[in-house]
Amino acid sequence: MRIFFILVVFFCASSVFAQQEANRTLYFPKAAVKPAVVPAKKKVWVFVMAGQSNMAGRGQVEPEDTVANERILAINKAGELVLAKEPLNLNEPSMVGLDCGMSFARTLLKSCPPDVSILVLHTAVGGSSIQKWIHDSVHRDVPLLSNFKARVERAKAFGDIKGILWHQGEADANAKGIPVYDARLDSLFGMFRQICGNKKLPILLGELGYFSKTSHEPFMEINRIMHEHAQHDKHSGVIITKGLDHKGDQLHFNAAGQRAIGKMFAELYVSQWL
């Protein structure tokens, strides 16, 4: 009877997991589509997405997120140019979900010249601390800074790097990480700009969520540091995420929150750099 009970519990747990996985991937695109015409390099604006899980994407992908646009591009694992569709993350297959990339690109296109295309380049990996980025640590099978560099170098063949979208800090919202977070932002952003070949490259930071019940104060301290950083780094800016909701775990933004973050990133870029 005990073995039978264990088998029943295992079967039920497996069924629940299978259903959750089916729901998570329900609207994932089944095939990649290459652009009919590859735009001229000078007409492609590249934006790099970097950070941890809320930039990697954990929201529910829905049909509207997979509608392709000939002017919104991505790079697949083979290094080929494709039409962008959510999810954009090429890593973390068991966790990946909706990020802010498509929302950002759709919003930004409204203010771009009509002959410009946007290439959204995903490099974020969930759970990665800023120190791991600085030291090029292998995190979830990804060498963080090397991966960033390799993908940026590939993107340079298709367009010009115009900015970086950064959402990270949950892994550093602790007694050891908070006192050195600003200095580490300086170090990493300097590395990013050197890799991208532009000392004045805009870097847009997103606040951590306001909804955590267990880490609210540390998260708010990281947010304060982000705003402080933007005061002395004139080529950076911060979006405010207050009012956005989580997906039920008090950690990750839900689908509506991810789309709102993308929209705010685009509006910030337009207001300061376009």
**248: its two tokens:** 């039920």
pTM of the model: 0.92
Does residue 12 sit within a domain? no
Task: Output the pLDDT for position 17.
Answer: 46
Closest by CA position to 125, among listed 157, 99, 152: 99
- Domain hosting 250: range is 31-273
Distance CA 138, CA 128 (A): 9
Task: Output the pLDDT for position 13.
Answer: 42
**73: its two tokens:** 């591009």
CATH number for the domain that contains residue 120: 3.40.50.1110
Does residue 168 sit within a domain? yes
Distance CA 214, CA 188 (A): 28
**41: its two tokens:** 């390099």
Q: 142 with 150: CB under 8 angstroms? A: no
DSSP 59-96: BPP-GGGG---TTEEEE-TTS-EEE--S----S-TTT-
Q: 70 with 109: CB under 8 angstroms? A: no
Does residue 131 sit within a domain? yes
Does residue 8 sit within a domain? no
Task: Output the pLDDT for position 9.
Answer: 43
**pLDDT by 10s per residue, the chain, length 274:** 666 545 444 444 455 445 667 888 999 998 889 999 999 999 999 999 999 999 999 999 999 999 999 999 999 999 999 999 999 999 999 999 999 999 999 999 999 999 999 999 999 999 999 999 999 999 999 999 999 999 999 999 999 999 999 999 999 999 999 999 999 999 999 999 999 999 999 999 999 999 999 999 999 999 999 999 999 999 999 999 999 999 999 999 999 999 999 999 999 999 999 9
Does residue 253 sit within a domain? yes
Q: List Cα–Cα distances, 75 to 142, 182, 209, 252, in angstroms.
A: 17, 31, 29, 25
Q: How many domains does the chain have?
A: 1
Does residue 13 sit within a domain? no
Does residue 24 sit within a domain? no
Question: Which residues is 166 bridged to in the sheet?
Answer: 50, 205
First to last CA, the chain: 69
Does residue 222 sit within a domain? yes
- Write b or e for each residue in 223-252: b if 16 or more Cβ atoms lie within 10 A of its Cβ, otherwise e: bebbeebbeebebbbbbebeebebbeeebb
Q: Which amino acid is at 214?
A: T
Torsion of CA 258, 260, 264, 265, to 10 degrees: 20
In the chain, DSSP assigns E strands to: 44-51, 72-75, 81-83, 117-122, 138-139, 142-143, 160-167, 203-206, 236-239
Q: For the chain, give the number of residues.
A: 274
